A = this chain, B = another copy of it.
Amino acid sequence: MKVARVGEKLRRYYHYYPGTVAVIGVLDPEKESRANFMPAVWNAGLSFEPPLFGVAVSPKRYTYHLLAEGRPFSVSFFGFEKAELVAALGGMSGREVDKAKVLGLELLWGEVFEVPLIKGAYAAYELEPFGRFPTGDHDFFVGRVRAVWKDEAAFDEDGVPTPDRVRALLYYGRYLYGPPAPEVRRIKKP
């Protein structure tokens, strides 16, 4: 093991990868109610009761301003076979283009909130704004899960997205994507 002290910035900050990609969906009311999407690899579950989920978004991103206005949003999870779609969503800005139109996306709309979703995800949440925490060069937007969309074939009887049912899209850093291995091990608490 090599140790390095860290200063103001950490350029190659990938040690904790791979992780699933949460595609944020939010209505853009300024642009003829366009649907806006962006992938966020910095995401995490946060609470069971109430059910909370968080995503880190940079103020440089167009999506940031839509979330900062306290709008409800969705997060969606895709399989590895949708890697190109997810990468493409991150490669263009909603400031300039209508991503859904450019990519020919088939949209769905939330049941609880007017939030856009992309057809083809295996799971998605509709989220009510809960809080926004300043964290360095990003903000951490926390939402309360008000609805769950899921493709039941992707989950086992305990609600777990096992790799034999769904090849979740994992991100490694530097434009690298992959699926999980089929191998799993169940380890009960001692």
A contacts, CB < 8 Å to B: 1-6, 8-20, 22, 41-54, 56, 75, 77, 83-84, 87-88, 90-92, 108, 111-112, 121, 123-125, 130-131, 133, 135-138, 140, 142, 145-152, 155, 158-163, 167-168, 170, 172-190
CA distance A4 to B133 in the complex (A): 28
Would you call A190 and B49 a contact (CB within 8 A)?
no
Contacts of A182 in B (CB 8 A): 181
Would you call A133 and B136 a contact (CB within 8 A)?
no
Would you call B2 and A46 a contact (CB within 8 A)?
no
Closest to A20 in B: B16
Contacts of A163 in B (CB 8 A): 18, 172, 178
Q: A10-B51, A133-B133 are in contact. Are A149 and B1 (CB under 8 A)?
A: yes
CB distance from A55 to the nearest CB of B (A): 9
Of B11, B147, B179, B187, which one neighbours A177 at CB under 8 angstroms?
B187
CB distance from A107 to the nearest CB of B (A): 13
CA distance A90 to B174 in the complex (A): 32
Residue from the set A10, A133, A145 with the largest chain B CB neighbour count within 10 Å: A10
